[in-house]
Structure 1
Amino acid sequence: MSFARPTFTCLGGGHGLYQTLTAARAAGAEDISAVVTVADDGGSSGRLRREIDLVPPGDLRMALAALTDDSVNGTVWRDTLQHRFGGHGAMAGHALGNLIIAGLAERLGDTQAALDQVAEWTGSAGRVIPVCPQPLDIEADVAGLDDDPRVLRSVRGQVAVATTPGEVRRVRLTPARPAASRDAVQAILDADIVTIGPGSWFSSVIPHLLVPEITDALNQTDAKVVVILNLSPEAGETHGFTTERHIHVFAQHAPALRVDTILVDNTVPATQGERENLRHAAEQLGAEVEFRSLREMGEDGVALNRHDPLKLAAAFKDLAQGE
């Protein structure tokens, strides 16, 4: 099936989701829904979460910023949402957009209503939806933190998991098997293309797969489900991971999930043998691997460790057209 102007639903968080949402806009999306992780416990989000017990707003704010209108007014709003206070006082480090979301959520009594209000103000190209209506915690089993490498230690909290010097083997959510946002489930069912990733693998990508209603919706939707692999391992949670291992870990956490396509930058697997291993790994998910030029290049011609939204957009257009 071909879509001239597809509807996108993008799952993730942080900078990876920002790039994907920018790419979806560049691909001429009819509508975009960002389904965002809600386990952040660091920085401004962590402080607000501890002080007023709300869904952490940081990743939600970044998604709103990615979807703001390209007009002068939209640019002002994007900069406003992303503005971070300096200094050393009580406000230091807080992002203004986080405070706006937190204040509106308290005033309106609902985080989704607050996000929809900001989206209206900013002329948003789509909707930002927390994956769950409640804040979550991530807990990981980590090897390498004990003299005996076979011993697994429990590490709790997104920041702790993302920065552990050990090797993350598996993650889980607290509370376990949380209920998904109804709007998130519906956005997946209504989409033409659903993207998962890129981003911090254990703390921004895999947590979506641990919400049963989300994986059920991913298996039920008629959309093309596309996993976008990271360009490189991340210091901390995926240090030393091969591209193939990213897929194995993904499948380990959602063994019943089926996806259509795994997008991989064509410079990552260096040999034909590595590409074949990737294809075999993708078979666990029922997926085909697409190798594309996806990496952003700096002005000096040096490759950056960041997806290029325009290159991602070109890949999305081909997938929408069935190519």
Structure 2
Amino acid sequence: MIKKTGPKIVVIGGGTGLPVILSELHKRNADITAIVTVADDGGSSGIIRDYVNVVPPGDIRNVMVALSDISPQLKDIFQYRFKSEDKFLAGHAIGNLIIAALSEMRGGIDPAIRELSEMLQVEGHVYPASAEPLVLHAKFTDGSSLAGEAEITAAHKNIKEIWVENNPWSENKKPKAVPEALQAIENADEIILGPGSLFTSILPNLMIEDIGRAVLKTKAEVVYICNIMTQKGETIDFTDAEHVRTLDKHLGRNFIDTVLVNTEVVPESYMDFNRYDEVSKQVVHDFKGLRAQGVRVISDNFLLLRDGGAFHNGKKVVDELMNICSNPIEKHD
């Protein structure tokens, strides 16, 4: 692997938004580290974590592919998901099964990722936020609580706060971060949060106490890429300022330095809300609210319309992220 000599960039999150940014960063001269959530309990990842003692592999799989230099044909095989009529294998991605198998063979997720990174020619570093699968908990504004990412999202209630815990059978009482992830945060020139689901992809990482503490202590610029669309069961009616306010509240103080927001209008007639049934409407801007939280706001047309959905244009976003590295804000203790 050729060592990149550019800025050390740490990207924290999960879901489908993260690979969009990572695949574009992969083309630049950046030393990339991805820290990936391990609280996913839905779909193929959820089934595997229930039957094999391994962190949910889906987000890790997608991130590794985004940073891989193998051929498109091999990527397609690794990403292939069995059809629903395939009974026992229904819905499982081949890459998820390989990660689970290697974790069992090598005695943990860390050696499995290291070995698979070599096989996939991954350029960069990929770390699970924790070496153990975590359980996401949420308290809603109506006073009720739920455990499990899938159940929390499906409840379609307003979330007040979230936290993560180890599984009840874990030897550790509270979640601990992978040490290499903490080291990457400490050495970073820039830390990127998102894009991704606020309560289920980004915050679960920050709610691991030592990761949250490391992000608060970092000298690096912390950049939040705000979602383009609100999400049912998570951020219905949230403005961009409310996204940032929620992050700050969970960590106990204002820590976001810069926010990237898309200003291009998403044509409602274009959106396929049946295909993307988790999204609701476009995030409303509140620039006054953002400035009140002391953040630098970078607003532009970051929109990419594709396949009936609204996505971030990876190239435009990464152009700004690299520009931020060249022109960081001055941070004070």
Q: Please give the TM-score of this superposition, normalised by the length of structure 1.
A: 0.87
| Structure 2: gaps of 5 or more residues | 167-172, 265-281, 329-333
Deviations 1:138-191 (CA, angstroms, capped at 9, x unpaired): 111124xxxxxxx32112111112222211111111138521110110111122
| Contact map agreement 1:24 1:316 (CA 8 A) in 2 | no
Instruction: Structure 1: give runs of 5+ residues left out of the alignment.
Output: 144-150
Query: Structure 2: how far apart are the matches of 1:270 and 1:216?
Result: 30
Contact 1:7 1:29 in 2 (8 A): no
Partner SS state of residue 161, structure 1: helix
Give 1:270 deviation, angstroms.
6.5
- Matches of 2:156 and 2:57 in 1, distance apart? 27
Deviation at 1:195, TM superposition (A): 0.5
Structure 2 CA distance for aligned equivalents of residues 109 and 212 of structure 1: 25
Asked if 1:209 corresponds to 2:210, the answer is: no
Determine helix, strand or coil for the equivalent of 1:84. Answer: coil
Residue 136 of structure 2 aligns to a residue in which SS?
A: strand
Task: Say whether 1:198 aligns with 2:189.
Answer: no
2:147 alignment counterpart = 156
Deviation at 1:221, TM superposition (A): 2.7
Quick check: 1:297 aligned with 2:305? yes
**Conserved in 2, the CA contact under 8 Å of 1:162 and 1:200?**
no
Distance 1:45 1:269, change over 3 A: closer
In the alignment, does 2:291 pair up with 1:279? yes
The answer for the alignment partner of 2:98 in structure 1 is: 100
Show CA shifts across 1:12-64 (max 9, x none). Answer: 001111112123224x1332111000011111111111111211111111111
Q: Distance in 2 between matches of 1:33 and 1:171?
A: 25
RMSD (Å) for aligned C-alpha atoms: 2.1
What is the distance in 1 between the residues matched to 2:215 and 2:163?
A: 19
One of 115, 118, 121 as aligned partner of 1:117: 115
CA distance in 2, matches of 1:4, 1:293: 29
CA drift of 1:94 comes to: 0.6
- What is residue 232 of structure 2 aligned with on the other side? 235
Matching residue of 2:274: none
Q: What is residue 140 of structure 1 aligned with on the other side?
A: 138
CA distance in 2, matches of 1:192, 1:106: 35
Is the CA contact (8 Å cut-off) linking 1:162 and 1:202 kept in structure 2?
no
Q: Please give the residue correspondences for 1:159-178 in structure 2 after superposition, counting only pairs within 5 Å.
A: 159-175=150-166, 177-178=174-175
**Cα 1:214–1:60 shift into 2, 3 Å:** same
AA in 1 matched with 2:290: L
State the alpha-carbon separation in 1 of the partners of residues 77 and 283 from structure 2.
40
Q: Which runs of 4+ in 1 moved over 3 A?
A: 267-271
Residue 309 of structure 1 is matched in structure 2 by: 314
Letter in 1 for 2:91: G
In structure 2, what residue type is equivalent to 1:33?
A: T
Preserved contact between residue 130 and residue 181 of structure 1 (Cα < 8 Å):
yes
Structure 2 partner of 1:61: 61
Q: CA deviation at 1:269?
A: 7.4
Secondary structure in 2 aligned to 1:233?
strand
Once the two structures are superposed, residues 80-100 of structure 1 have per-residue CA deviations (whole angstroms, 9 ceiling, x without a partner) of: 221101123111111100010
Q: Quick one: structure 1 residues 232 and 215, their matched pair in 2 at CA, closer, same or farther if it must change by over 3 Å?
A: same
Number of equivalenced pairs: 301
With over 3 angstroms needed to count, the CA separation of the structure-2 counterparts of 1:77 and 1:211, relative to structure 1, is same
CA distance, structure 1, for counterparts of residue 82 and residue 149 of structure 2: 23
What TM-score comes out, normalization by structure 2 length? 0.84
Counterparts of 1:231 and 1:115 in 2: how far apart (Å)?
31
Distance 1:257 1:277, change over 3 A: closer
Tell me how far 1:275 sits from its aligned partner: 1.5
Provide the residue aligned with 1:31 in structure 2: 31
Instruction: Verify: 1:183 aligned to 2:188, yes or no.
Output: no
